[in-house]
Structure 1
């Protein structure tokens, strides 16, 4: 069953972030700000309409091993990624 970001079922410490509703020119700044606001052990559940491969490289370059990434859903038009802050 596909994840529906418009109706998130989120566990404690997991915060939804739906990038589809943010103007493209502000998305990366908003994403980096949201990740920076998380405490170790918290997760941002990121929803997008495309696989953000350049963004993932930028996140890794900026946060290094301090942010772990795992795909929850990876289908055309429906990408959901969990970003876990570890440090």
Structure 2
């Protein structure tokens, strides 16, 4: 079971990339992260490990974004992105 298919009761903002067209995906992710305030978390759900995206996020946000894997297995990847600054 994919961790994003389970109901959430906390204040983590979900972003399910599985339903976003590939050509719009990175722009949508950047837009969502840009509106987070420090302390907020976006839970990113995908069907693969987005290593190129993570490199882009590191370049764009640096230490202002904390990256934590929640689930990391074939077909089910969930990452919490927390704005720290």
Shift in Å, 1:7: 3.3
- Alignment size in residue pairs: 85
**51, 54, 62: which one pairs with 2:52?**
54
Alpha carbon RMSD of aligned pairs, Å? Answer: 1.3
Partner in structure 1 of residue 24 of structure 2: 26
Contact 1:19-1:47 at 8 Å conserved across structures: yes
Partner in structure 2 of residue 11 of structure 1: 10
Q: Aligned partners of 2:62, 2:19: CA distance in 1, in Å?
A: 27
Partner in structure 1 of residue 83 of structure 2: 85
Deviations 1:38-78 (A, max 9, x none): 00000000000000000000000000000000000000000
Query: Which 4+ stretches in 1 moved above 3 angstroms?
Result: none
Q: Aligned partners of 2:9, 2:20: CA distance in 1, in Å?
A: 20
Contact 1:68-1:86 at 8 Å conserved across structures: yes
Partner in structure 2 of residue 76 of structure 1: 74
1:30–1:48 CA distance, 2 compared to 1 (3 A): same
Shift in Å, 1:20: 0.3
Contact 1:10-1:16 at 8 Å conserved across structures: no
TM-score of the superposed pair, with normalisation by structure 1: 0.92
Partner in structure 1 of residue 43 of structure 2: 45
